[in-house]
Amino acid sequence: MLDERIATLTLEIDDYELRPLQSSTSSGWTRHSTVVALRGAGHEGLGEDVTYEKDDQLGFQATGGSHDLRGRMTFDEFSRRLDAVALFAAPPTRTMNRLYRRWAFESAALDLALRQNGLSLAAALDREFAPLRYVVSLGLGSPPSTEPLQRIRDSYPGAEFKVDLSPEWTAETARALEAFGGVTTIDLKGQYHGSFEGPPANATQYRAVAELLPEAWIEDPSFEAEAYDTLTAHLDRVTWDANIHSVADVVQLPTVPRCVNIKPSRFGFVSELLRCYEFCESRGMRMYGGGQFELGAGRGQIQYLASLFHPDGANDVAPLGFNRDVTEPGMPTSPMTIAAAPIGFRADSD
């Protein structure tokens, strides 16, 4: 079991600090995140809280690292210790944020434990890196057009894309995407709710996506009967993302998928993430990785994991520069080689 390979790693924590990050994004909003830096025995382990709500992030940063996490323990003991730590001073805006913050601490502790033991995560799990295929995730604007994709293609001719559905899409939108080429995934966002509500389930749109983009993965359809029923003949291309936080969530899906989107921060627990990787591999289920607009160590870490577990997938883990308001020149093209540190759980995210 992969999780057993890290459970007994020892780590020593002397203190920690929180490092705020922010950046303007290509979607027109300002992203806030927080790096958790655990320190001990001359080493530092990093993780990133990818909670989306600004107020939750600023409230976290204001605490300045007030929890007493000091001591020597195994990684498993640290994870259990977090159960008793109030990581939010006030209830989070969304329940999901508890998992995002827990992932920040768990990934930082894993990085620290590996460094203190002179190991890389790849070595600890007995896995090897492979060149990482990535896609760029974006919307098509209003009215929808392929112009945002073309702007990226102008600088990165081989770029592939994951594209978000919007209520304005028509059959012509789907035809234009198919003609443009390189669109690996259409995110219907039917499993997003609350403040991140996706577009209303629309049977006409679902049918157009399924029939006019015959090679693309169809991610996160709504369970609304009329819309979902239009995908009956295309279930081998339906994948899931926002509702996947554990092995149990995969098991409970309405049909056994051929492929799922694994976003590490959604799992919260490193052990549950590793169990899900093993579960999918044991059943021949394909995987691809997803990002959360990480600004710091988190981006490199999801690229690291994708390179170990699903390097050939349509991984939505493109270099950071694609998330910023102006696409940066000189970024590594896909497939990219992961520049991983010789010890720890760390990779260069640029």
Write the pLDDT tens digit of every residue in 293-320.
999 999 999 999 999 999 999 999 999 8
d(CA 262, CA 260): 6
Q: What is the DSSP letter of 288?
A: E
Beta strand spans in 50-157 (E) = 71-74, 136-138
Give 168-196 pLDDT, tens digit per residue: 999 999 999 999 999 999 999 999 877 67
Q: Which long-range contacts (CB under 8 A, 24 or more apart) does 194-199 make?
A: 194/94, 195/53, 195/93, 195/94, 196/52, 198/165, 198/222, 199/165, 199/166, 199/167
C-alpha dist (Å) from residue 192 to 24, 201, 230? 23, 11, 20
- Give 3-state DSSP helix, strand, coil % of the chain, rounded to 5: 40, 20, 40
Domains (ranges, CATH) in the chain?
A: 2-119 (3.30.390.10), 124-323 (3.20.20.120)
Helix axes 75-82, 270-282, angle to 10 degrees: 110
Helix axes 297-309, 96-116, angle to 10 degrees: 80
d(CA 142, CA 125): 45
277: pLDDT strictly greater than 60:
yes
Give 210-261 pLDDT, tens digit per residue: 999 999 999 999 999 999 999 999 999 999 999 999 999 999 999 999 999 9
C-alpha dist (Å) from residue 106 to 38, 112, 113, 238? 10, 10, 10, 31
36: pLDDT strictly greater than 60:
yes
Strand partners, 46: 37
Encoded tokens for 204: 């006409």
